[in-house]
Structure 1
Amino acid sequence: MRIRDELGVVYEDGRFTGAFGVRGRPGISPAQLMMATVLQFSENLTDRQAADAVRDRMSWKYALGLDLDDPGFDASVFSEFRARLVEGDLATHALDALLARLVAEGLLKAGGRARTDSTHVLGAIRNLCRLELAGESVRAALEAFASAAPAWLAGVIDDSWQRRYGARVDTWRLPASETKRKALMVEYGRDGYHLLAAAHAHDAPVWLREIPAVDVLRRVWVQQFYRYTTGSGTEVVRRRENTSEGGDGLPPGRDRLISPYDLDTRHSLKRDHGWDGYKVHLTETCTPPETTTPETTAATGRGDTPNLITGVLTTLATTPDAAALDDIHTELRRNGLAPDEHLLDSGYPSADQMIHSARVHGISLVTPVLLDHSHQAKARAGYDKASFSFDFDRRRGTCPQGQTSSTWNPCRQHTTDVIVATWTKSTCGPCPVRDLCTKGQQRHITLRDRALHEATITARAEQTTDEWKRRYAARSGIEGTIRQTTHVTGIRTARYRGLPKTSLEHNIAAAAINMIRLDAYWTGKPLDRTRATHLTRLDLTHAA
Structure 2
Amino acid sequence: MVASPYDPEVHYARKQSTIWIGYKVHLTETCDEGGPHLITHVETTPAPVVDRDALNTIHDGLKAKGLLPDTHLADAGYVAADQLVASRKKGVTLLGPAPKDYQWQARSGEGFTVQDFLLDWEREVATCPAGHQSKSWGPDYHQGRTASKVRFSTTDCRPCPLKPQCTRSGRRLLTLRPREEHETLEAARQREEQLAFSKEYRQRAGIEGTISAGVRALHLRRSRYIGLAKTHLQHVLTAAAMNLIRLGASFAGTPLARTRQSAFTRLMMAPIPA
Q: 1:392 to 1:535 in 2, by over 3 A?
A: closer
1:112 is aligned to none
Greater Cα radius of gyration, structure 1 or 2: 1
Q: Are positions 1:432 and 2:161 aligned together? A: yes
How far 1:376 sits from its partner (Å)? 0.8
Paired residue type of 2:67: L
The count of aligned residue pairs is: 272
Paired residue type of 1:265: V
Q: Are positions 1:406 and 2:135 aligned together? A: yes
1:490 is aligned to 219
List gaps (5 residues or longer) in structure 1. 1-255, 291-304
How far 1:338 sits from its partner (Å)? 0.6
Deviations 1:173-231 (A, max 9, x none): xxxxxxxxxxxxxxxxxxxxxxxxxxxxxxxxxxxxxxxxxxxxxxxxxxxxxxxxxxx
1:339 is aligned to 69
How far 1:487 sits from its partner (Å)? 2.0
Match of 1:382 among 85, 107, 111: 111
1:227 is aligned to none
Q: Are positions 1:465 and 2:194 aligned together? A: yes
Q: Are positions 1:515 and 2:260 aligned together? A: no
How far 1:415 sits from its partner (Å)? 3.8
Structure with the higher helix share, 1 or 2? 1
Q: Are positions 1:442 and 2:163 aligned together? A: no
3-state SS in 2 of match to 1:347 = helix
2:125 is aligned to 396
How far 1:537 sits from its partner (Å)? 6.4
Deviations 1:21-50 (A, max 9, x none): xxxxxxxxxxxxxxxxxxxxxxxxxxxxxx
Q: How does 1:73-92 map to 2 (within 5 A)?
A: none
Paired residue type of 1:317: A
How far 1:390 sits from its partner (Å)? 0.3
Distance 2:72 2:98 in 1: 14
Q: How does 1:82-121 map to 2 (within 5 A)?
A: none
Q: 1:536 to 1:355 in 2, by over 3 A?
A: closer
Q: Are positions 1:354 and 2:99 aligned together? A: no
Q: 1:340 to 1:512 in 2, by over 3 A?
A: same
Deviations 1:384-425 (A, max 9, x none): 111111010121111112222122212334442211112111
3-state SS in 2 of match to 1:261 = coil
Q: TM-score, structure 1 length as denominator?
A: 0.48
Could you tell me whether the CA contact under 8 Å between 1:268 and 1:318 is conserved in 2? yes
Q: Which has the higher contact order (CA 8 A, sep 6+)?
A: 1
**Percentage identity across paired residues of the two chains:** 40
Q: How does 1:189-204 map to 2 (within 5 A)?
A: none
Q: 1:432 to 1:282 in 2, by over 3 A?
A: same
Distance 2:49 2:169 in 1: 38
How far 1:306 sits from its partner (Å)? 0.9
Q: Which moved more, 1:486-495 or 1:505-514?
A: 486-495
Structure with the higher strand share, 1 or 2? 2
Match of 1:527 among 242, 256, 266: 256
How far 1:260 sits from its partner (Å)? 2.1
Match of 2:102 among 356, 373, 389: 373
3-state SS in 2 of match to 1:319 = coil
Distance 1:322 1:314 in 2: 13
Could you tell me whether the CA contact under 8 Å between 2:79 and 2:99 is conserved in 1? no
3-state SS in 1 of match to 2:77 = coil
1:149 is aligned to none
Could you tell me whether the CA contact under 8 Å between 2:97 and 2:192 is conserved in 1? yes
List gaps (5 residues or longer) in structure 2. none
3-state SS in 1 of match to 2:112 = coil
Q: 1:419 to 1:512 in 2, by over 3 A?
A: same
Deviations 1:42-67 (A, max 9, x none): xxxxxxxxxxxxxxxxxxxxxxxxxx
How far 1:517 sits from its partner (Å)? 0.4
Q: 1:503 to 1:424 in 2, by over 3 A?
A: same
Could you tell me whether the CA contact under 8 Å between 1:372 and 1:385 is conserved in 2? no
Cα root mean square deviation, aligned: 2.1
Distance 1:434 1:326 in 2: 42
Paired residue type of 2:119: F
Match of 1:309 among 39, 42, 54: 39
Q: 1:424 to 1:354 in 2, by over 3 A?
A: same
